[in-house]
Amino acid sequence: MICLGIESTAHTFGVGIMKDEEVLANIRDMYLPKIGGIHPREASEHHTLVAKEVIEKALNEAKLKLKDIDLIAFSAGPGLPPCLRVGAVVARYLGLKLNVPIIPVNHCIAHIEIGKLKTGATDPVTLYASGGNTQVLAFTEGRYRVFGETQDQGIGNMLDHFGRDAGLKHPGGPKIEKLAKDGKWVELPYVVKGMDMSFSGILTSASKKLKENNLEDLCYSIQETCFAMLTEVTERALAHTDKNEVLLTGGVAANKRLQEMLNIMCIERGAKFYAVPNDLSGDNGAMIAWTGILNKNKIFFDTKIDRFWRTDDVEI
Ligand code: AMP
Ligand code: MG
């Protein structure tokens, strides 16, 4: 079974080709805003412009022709509607042209499924930490249930926003990780409410402190504070569900300090820690293709998008 997966929920237009469990190609082109954060219309224009080339590159890398594709999968949500529409239109075009099924995929579930495939985790508590999303999830009774999540922005967007306030180029996340290595502790708000988290107050506080503190110290403290919050909520979900694996996925999964904190927590609880490999952590088409293969028996020709499609609305 060969599936071509299209990712276009936000900044990335990606095309991945999976042959069963094997990644044959995973090509992406990322929209980089000139100033500020992601502008949805500009991002969608970017996706429209690069779509053909990204598909061709993916087919070349996989050494395949379009007619070899058995299945088309696309990210149907959650995401920015103008961006989602580009993926949906491309999926519909390819599906009709090739006369193959089109599978709508939930983007968040795709991050979990590619993590499970690549790490061998079987039934983990998942911390999905990316630009737009931050959720702690676990599978119970036919669904990936959300045990805790951000009440405002995703951790990645918060790091990127702080980075911009500090004059760092987008995306700020990886730059903050580097600068944090030489930092010392500065007090920031710690915001866990029940099992949910909030990052916008931490952003405001850290950005205000840019005037009187050095950047390394704020990078260190923003990481220590936010990653401790993520680890705390993940630990409580682990205790509640009695599972014994933790999977870290999403773009922020590339962060070594976040991996280290979760790993320490897992060792202390006798659980196993897994992090998705870096090349599959951020938004990508391979994870969409793989989730398409997992859903191959649900035959659709459906290209509706759902900007708010919740992970726990999907029956697995
Ligand atoms: P995604 O939305 O899943 O594609 O992930 C993109 C997000 O991951 C952006 O907000 C990046 O800043 C963030 N990110 C990527 N690498 C790192 C890193 N090493 N540390 C922290 N954040 C990162
Ligand atoms: Mg994502």
Q: What's the CA-to-centroid distance between 164 and ligand 1, angstroms? A: 14
Residue 37 is predicted with a pLDDT of 80
For the Cβ of 7 lying below 6 angstroms from any atom of ligand 1, the answer is no
Distance separating alpha carbons of residues 140 and 144, to the nearest angstrom: 6
Q: Cβ–Cβ contacts within 10 Å for residue 52, how many?
A: 10
For the Cβ of 78 lying below 6 angstroms from any atom of ligand 1, the answer is no
Q: What's the CA-to-centroid distance between 103 and ligand 2, angstroms? A: 18
List alpha helices for 166-284, DSSP H. Answer: 172-180, 200-208, 215-241, 256-269
Cβ 286 vs Cβ 124: under 8 Å: no
Residues linked to residue 22 through DSSP beta bridges, in sequence order = 19
Ligand closest in space to the Cα of 311: 2
Nearest to 58 by CA among 89, 86, 26, 100: 26
Ligand 1 atom closest to the Cα of residue 171 is 12
Domains 2-110+280-313 and 123-278 equal at CATH topology level: yes
Residues linked to residue 193 through DSSP beta bridges, in sequence order = 196
List alpha helices for the chain, DSSP H. Answer: 40-62, 81-98, 107-119, 155-165, 172-180, 200-208, 215-241, 256-269, 285-294
Residue 257 is predicted with a pLDDT of 98
Both structure tokens of 184 = 């010392």
For the Cβ of 255 lying below 6 angstroms from any atom of ligand 1, the answer is yes
In the three-class reduction of DSSP (H, G, I as helix; E, B as strand; rest coil), residue 140 is classed as strand
Distance separating alpha carbons of residues 185 and 315, to the nearest angstrom: 44
Q: Domain limits of the chain?
A: 2-110+280-313, 123-278
Record: fold of 123-278: Nucleotidyltransferase; domain 5 (3.30.420)
Query: Crossing angle, helix 172-180 and helix 256-269, to 10 degrees?
Result: 70
For the Cβ of 14 lying below 6 angstroms from any atom of ligand 1, the answer is no
Which residues in the chain come in under a pLDDT of 70? Answer: 299-301
Q: What's the CA-to-centroid distance between 282 and ligand 2, angstroms? A: 6
Which residue lies with its CA nearest to atom 12 of ligand 1? 173
Nearest to 293 by CA among 9, 56, 22: 22
- Give residue 273's identity as a one-letter amino acid code: F
Residue 125 is predicted with a pLDDT of 98
Cβ 7 vs Cβ 38: under 8 Å: no
Residue from 111, 157, 159, 170 whose mutation best tests the ligand 1 pocket (most atoms within 8 A of CB): 159
Distance separating alpha carbons of residues 210 and 212, to the nearest angstrom: 6
Strands of 102-106's sheet in order across: 22-30, 12-19, 2-7, 71-77, 102-106
Longest dimension (CA), the chain: 61
Write out the CATH class of domain 2-110+280-313. alpha beta
Q: For the stretch 251-269, what's the b/e string if a residue is b when 16 or more beta carbons lie within 10 angstroms of its beta carbon?
A: bbbbbeebbebbbebbeee
- Spell out which residues have Cβ within 5 A of ligand 2, the ion: 130, 283
Residue 247 is predicted with a pLDDT of 98
Residue 298 is predicted with a pLDDT of 80
For the Cβ of 251 lying below 6 angstroms from any atom of ligand 1, the answer is yes
Residue 301 is predicted with a pLDDT of 64
Residue 80 is predicted with a pLDDT of 96
